[in-house]
Amino acid sequence: MKKLFSEIPYIKGDRIVLRRITQDDAASLRELTESEAVYRYLPTFLFEKKYDSIEYVIDRLYDECFSESIILGVFLDEEFCGIAEMYGFRDEIHKISVGYRLLERFWGQCIASEALALMIDYLYNETDIEIITASTMIENRASARVLEKNGFDLVVHAVPENWGYDEPTTTDKWIR
């Protein structure tokens, strides 16, 4: 078993690949971060939105960001579809949280579900992670369905949480 953060994973499935984001992916990552529809159900403080320059974000993903989060690109036939993220690492209890966000044109194609399944398989079978959690805004039923399809259980419903907005965000908490 390898320790999480000992390497940048390359995770290949039947249809999609989760891999390092490079400067070649800058235009697609920019399109993702500029989509109001994509980010309406997400916290305001995500790393890919931390800096004005997407190129600078990509340069920092695997040094500054890598100490607390693993952000991988989701690719279908080598085309950038979105991001898969492992974050909130708690080594002492072998816990990590997961998230995903896709460009709108890839919604409804089971890509988020496949990306999550690949993350789960990697985390449980190749690392010492024992607990995987996720959070969703209660309005985000599509993401809740992705979690349910991948064996997550809703453990707490409608919890106020700080997601960087003026008011607390009402979220659901999931565990697998």
Q: In whole angstroms, what is the distance from residue 10 CA to residue 155 CA?
A: 30
pLDDT (tens digit, 9 = 90+) per residue, 136-155? 999 999 999 999 999 999 99
* Torsion angles phi and psi, residue 46, rounded to 5: -70, 145
Query: Any bridge partners for residue 169, and if so which?
Result: 161
**Verdict on whether the full-model pTM lies above 0.85:** yes
pLDDT (tens digit, 9 = 90+) per residue, 78-118? 999 999 999 999 999 999 999 999 999 999 999 999 999 99
Confidence of residue 4 (pLDDT cuts 50, 70, 90): confident
pLDDT (tens digit, 9 = 90+) per residue, 43-82? 988 999 999 999 999 999 999 888 789 999 999 999 999 9
**The dihedral formed by the CA atoms of 22, 63, 41 and 123, expressed in degrees to the nearest 10:** 90
Q: Give the model's pLDDT for residue 2.
A: 83
Q: Give the model's pLDDT for residue 1.
A: 78
For the chain, the structural domain boundaries read 11-131
| CATH homologous superfamily for the domain 11-131 | Gcn5-related N-acetyltransferase (GNAT) (3.40.630.30)
Written as one string, the DSSP assignment of 15-36 is: SEEEE---GGGHHHHHHHHT-H
Q: In whole angstroms, what is the distance from residue 121 CA to residue 148 CA?
A: 16
